[in-house]
């Protein structure tokens, strides 16, 4: 099982302060369509954070690519940049063990 956390910076004509209703509706659609956790960071820019689980790296990457296409096709904005942390869930135990040592 793999997890991913992705930070997507959007180029958009929307204003995070004045268009919060539209952004909230978009988040609900995104969560329902892709079964992910998602939220916008409070910022002057539109920054979307998405967290997902999947059986393989390939499945997670495909899901993230589909999310990017969904963002761009929905009219919410074009993805300017993205950063993703993707790893095996089993490595969390190993990391915790290293910290405890």
> Which residue, among 97, 96, 94, 85, has the nearest Cα to 57 in the 3D structure?
85
What are the tens digits of pLDDT across the range 45-66? 889 999 999 999 999 999 999 9
Question: Against a cut of 0.85, is the pTM above it?
Answer: no
Write down how long the chain is. Answer: 101
26 neighbors 72 (Cβ within 8 angstroms): no
Q: What is the structure's pLDDT at 95? A: 66
List domains and CATH numbers for the chain. Answer: 2-100 (3.30.70.1120)
> Which residue, among 85, 31, 32, has the nearest Cα to 60 in the 3D structure?
85
- What are the two backbone dihedrals, phi and then psi, of residue 73, each rounded to the nearest 5 degrees? -80, -15
> Which residue, among 50, 45, 46, has the nearest Cα to 65 in the 3D structure?
50
């Amino acid at each position: 099982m793999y997890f991913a956390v992705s930070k997507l910076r959007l180029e958009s004509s929307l204003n995070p302060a004045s268009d919060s209703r539209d952004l909230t509706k978009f988040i609900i659609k995104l969560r329902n369509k892709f079964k992910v956790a998602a939220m916008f960071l409070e910022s002057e820019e539109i920054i979307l954070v998405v967290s997902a689980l999947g059986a393989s790296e390939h499945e997670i990457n495909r899901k993230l690519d589909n999310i990017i296409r969904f963002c761009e096709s929905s009219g919410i904005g074009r993805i300017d940049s993205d950063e993703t942390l993707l790893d095996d869930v089993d490595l969390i135990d190993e990391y915790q063990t290293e910290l405890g040592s």
